Structure 1
């Protein structure tokens, strides 16, 4: 133990000088760190001040409330869209028209057949037959692309055309 104390007394000046240098370096590091913390604190206070003196937490909460509100509105729109899609399936989506001459003694193509179908190929075929002294209109129901009534050549043609649309 005495040897260690003798060693310390012999190199006392050097040890003190090294410790003074280390203390000086640590003091400089503390000053630099205080300066850095001060800059970060200024930036933090500016960030927390936000816009129009509202702090950041209030702004974030406001925007989160808006996001929640938007999600509710989007869910309502999705439900309405689904309901509309179901209703649109029942609307006329496919149609075809053909005009033709039903009788040789009648001038123009005044007779017609119209197929009106939904997305499941349900609907009707309307046929108007024009003759010289009379005109007749027929309606034939269509179920899944098939009529339970006999169809004329023109009606079958207009039905196939509407189904293929």
Structure 2
């Protein structure tokens, strides 16, 4: 056994330069890894400190928990608002959006276009047509219900013209 150990020591003496160079290379690689890890740790520590400053002494776990709760609340609010917008869009088609106005002279002895027909329609061409007939002695106003562009009452040509005008508005 002594003989073998002597051989090992002699071999080491002969190759001491190579062994030292290999050891130095290993140490250099380890130092590079240590510097990289140190830089990453410094970055993480800096982020943690900045979070700690704005967190009113809350832990990172509490900050994450709060952020998740805020996010969940925002998601719920978004779902509610989306449903509300859908309801409003559905109801919007029944709001008056289309208006047609026709002014005319109902009688020859009246000097100006003081009579009128106004059609107020929704997206389904339903609503009302209001007509005002002006004469020197009196003024009369009529309202007729319109469903899908039609009325169960007889419509004058001016009322039909007001409905047609309202339908053409996009």
Name the TM tier (shorter chain). Answer: 0.7 to 0.9
RMSD value, Cα: 2.7
What is the TM-score with the length of structure 2 in the denominator? 0.79
Question: Which of the residues 98, 108, 131 maps onto 2:112?
Answer: 108
Question: In the TM superposition, what are the counterparts of 1:51-70 in structure 2 within 5 Å?
Answer: 51-52=52-53, 54=55, 56-70=60-74
- Which string of whole-angstrom CA distances, capped at 9 and with x for unpartnered residues, describes residues 116-140 of structure 1? 1111110111111122323222222
Cα shift at 1:148: 2.4
Distance 1:75 1:10 in 2: 80
**1:154 corresponds to which residue?**
158
CA distance in 1, matches of 2:134, 2:95: 29
**Gap runs ≥5 in structure 2:** 1-6
- The number of residue pairs the alignment matches comes to 162
Counterpart of 2:25 in structure 1 is 25
Supply the distance in 2 between the matched residues of 1:77 and 1:38 (Cα, whole angstroms).
48
SS, match of residue 146 in structure 1 = coil
Residue equivalent to 1:123: 127
Matched with 2:4 is none
Aligned mate of 1:98, from 102, 111, 114:
102
Deviation at 1:51, TM superposition (A): 4.1
How far residue 103 of structure 1 moved from its aligned partner, in angstroms, is 0.9
For 1:130 and 1:12, the matched residues in 2 are separated by 124
Alignment of 1:4-83 (within 5 A): 13-49=13-49, 50-52=51-53, 54=55, 56-83=60-87
| Structure 2: distance between partners of 1:12 and 1:83 | 87
- Unpaired stretches in structure 1, ≥5 consecutive residues: 1-6
